[in-house]
Amino acid sequence: MRHSRLQECVYCPSTANLTDEHAPAKLIFPEPRPSDLITVKACLDCNQAGSKDAEYFRLCLCLNPLAKDMPSVVALKPTVQRSLQRPQAQRFKNRLLQALEPDHGRIAFTVEMGRIHTVIKRTVQCLYLHETGEKLPDTHEVRVASLEVLAQLGPEKAQEFRRDFIEPLAQQALKLVADNQFAYSVIHTSRKFVSVWGLIFYGILPFVAFTGRKVRMLQSSNPGCE
């Protein structure tokens, strides 16, 4: 595994009870897991705080029609089924059943995109530390653009987004993890802590994310300061 040397939680200032936080979460990789997974340090509380969202993310990856036949996903399904059979998973199963609804003769699954984006944000936060050796400061955040978000853009905005972000990311060398089960590319801009990320899961499910100043701080600061 590739580790960051920073002996402090990637999410908070704590230096106590540090654990390995995987980027992305290790449970999305079927066992036996490869040896090149990326890790940084996170305190036990912060690490555990993301575990339920990570399980939900894995479930959504397995249910995604684009990925359901990928070898990694097929290998993961027995693990996902066992996790759903645990007694403590009953509340999760109830919410899952509520998310299922008929759609033109089929059953559609309504995804909680907020939870998906939370996982991507945590992943990028860890990758930023892994890549640069620096944590994102409290003044900055990660924002996510998934396919569902991009689909809501009009044709002109979508073309602009592709020109400004997708095409430059596509020109960057992909960094492959776990035999291409996960890959990412990044553009670090001239502004401190401002970057653009492309993440691909199982070679087929993409996300684009950005690191930058928190929106509320930009709105309250002098426009000439950024």
pLDDT tens string 38-66:
999 999 999 999 999 999 899 888 888 88
* Element counts in the chain: helices (H) and strands (E): 9, 10
Instruction: Say how many C-beta atoms besides its own lie within 10 A of residue 18's C-beta.
Output: 19
Average pLDDT over residues 197-225: 76
pTM recorded for the entire structure: 0.83
Of 200, 213, 211, nearest to 24 by C-alpha is 200
Q: How does pLDDT run across 95-121, given as a tens digit for each residue?
A: 655 555 665 555 566 778 899 999 999
Nearest residue to 146 via CA among 112, 188, 175? 112
Sign of CA dihedral 28, 81, 115, 148: positive
Amino acid 220: pLDDT? 46
pLDDT at residue 89 tops 70: no
Whether 167 has a pLDDT exceeding 50, the answer reads yes
Tokens of 84: 């759903």
Distance between CA 22 and CA 117 in Å, rounded?
16
- Pairing relation of β-strands 38-43 and 140-146? unpaired
